[in-house]
Amino acid sequence: MPNTSWLRRTCVVWGLTLSAISTIPCFAQNAADDSLVFVHANLIDGVGSAPLTDATVVVTKGHIESIGHGPAPANHGPVIDLTGHWLLPGFVDAHVHVGNLADARRALRSGATTIGEAGVDHFADIGMRELNHKGVVDVPDVVAAGYHVRTHPADAYFIDFPQDADLMAGVHGTEAARRMVREMASRGVNRIKVMATERAGTPDTDPRIRIFNDEELAAVVDEANKAGLWVVAHAHGNEGAAAAVRAGVHSIEHGTYLSDDTLRLMKEKGVYLDPTITALVDLTDPEGEYDNPILQMRGKAMLPTGREMTARAWKMGVKIVAGTDTSYFDKNNRTLADEMIELSDAGLEPMNAIKAGTSVSAEELGVDKRTGSIRVGYEADFVVISSNPLENIRHIGDIIMVVNNGRVALNRMNVAPRP
């Protein structure tokens, strides 16, 4: 029997299992390797209006060194021949609740090389962000938010901030809201998440009901801005969403019941919309994350409304980003590819749906100067898919390779790179 110990080590590094060795060729990209070359790629860069065919992309020290045509340059490698395949920016999931490394690895294997956290316990998002920045290959980059600012914080919040025990009675008034923002900023979050309406994913709440008043929302935004942070607002209902937009939030998350007046105000103020349509799909699924008949009924009512709202928003020129609102845990099979498909079905052309899940999401997360598109000098975050997503957007989910900061994190290609 051949010695496969080196192969086992390589596959474990890339997040695979030994059972996959017979069908998925892994290759040894040593930690010391600082270059990687892709040749003969059909390239969608995330910003242009048309793909670049037969492209050569050279990666050095985790960043894109050059984009062009022709053979691989000398003294670079390994070389990955993408003949017939499509090279895209790594997906940027603008709305997740990923709270541990196992789920973060699942997110990365689905193509999400950057994730925007929208509420997680014990600042796991900050820890994962720092692991990625220290070069851990199988963890996506993270835009951290810490805890939601909401009228009744999660129990875990008080373990991290026992000095705020008085807020167990509720976050009411501008000073209490400001205090929560200051606590998040003290831990080094990148953005603030505020709940402007009740949740859809709990059976005893009504997602249309507003929960913070104008003064409280304005206080959240003002305190965040003082710390150099921006605010994203959870808002299904129109009244709460409109109030959040007037208060100066950066994006509306969900927006299921938005009116044309609110959408027009969002366009005027440059506020992003993250419709998270696949979260509504999951509400309807008895086998999904929300195993509750009340929520399944709610999802069946909300899903067509959310799809129709997204179509209106796109026609009105609102900036739309792609987010899943998932934790990527093992019971949930929703990925950002599913959200881009939903956006395409809502009226975005396939290229614009791809941009929503790459460069536009990166812009909303504030990381568009370094990732979300394939440009010289940017981080080498890529996905490779097997067929043309511009002809059929549903090909977007057929991911055969993920590259994270210039390192191959997943390889399902049927040929190994050459030296």
Between 6-15, 247-256, 368-377, 400-409, the lowest mean confidence (pLDDT) is in 6-15
Angle at CA 64, nearest 5°, toward 59 and 70?
A: 65
Distance CA 351, CA 51 (A): 9
Token pair recorded at residue 45: 């860069």
> Which CATH architecture does the domain made up of 90-365 adopt?
Alpha-Beta Barrel (3.20)
SS3 409: strand
**pLDDT mean across residues, the chain:** 91
Q: What is the b/e burial string over 193-231, where b = at least 16 CB atoms within 10 angstroms of the residue's CB? A: bbbbbbbbbeeeeebbebbbeeebbbbbbbbbeeeebbb
Distance CA 403, CA 371 (A): 12
Write the pLDDT tens digit of every residue in 2-40: 332 323 333 333 333 323 333 333 444 554 457 999 999
Domain map of the chain by residue range?
Answer: 5-88+375-411, 90-365
Question: What pLDDT band is residue 72 in, cutting at 50, 70 and 90?
Answer: confident
Please classify residue 67 by burial: count the beta carbons closer than 10 Å to its beta carbon, then call 0-12 exposed, 13-18 middle and 19+ buried: middle
CA-CA distances (angstroms) from residue 281 to 322, 336, 339?
A: 14, 13, 10
Please classify residue 235 by burial: count the beta carbons closer than 10 Å to its beta carbon, then call 0-12 exposed, 13-18 middle and 19+ buried: buried
Write the pLDDT tens digit of every residue in 154-209: 999 999 999 999 999 999 999 999 999 999 999 999 999 999 999 999 999 999 99
Report percent pLDDT > 70 for the chain.
90
- Residues 43-54 have a mean pLDDT of 97
Beta carbons of 170 and 152 less than 8 angstroms apart:
yes
Question: What pLDDT band is residue 359 in, cutting at 50, 70 and 90?
Answer: very high
- Residues 229-237 have a mean pLDDT of 98
> Which CATH architecture does the domain made up of 5-88+375-411 adopt?
Roll (2.30)
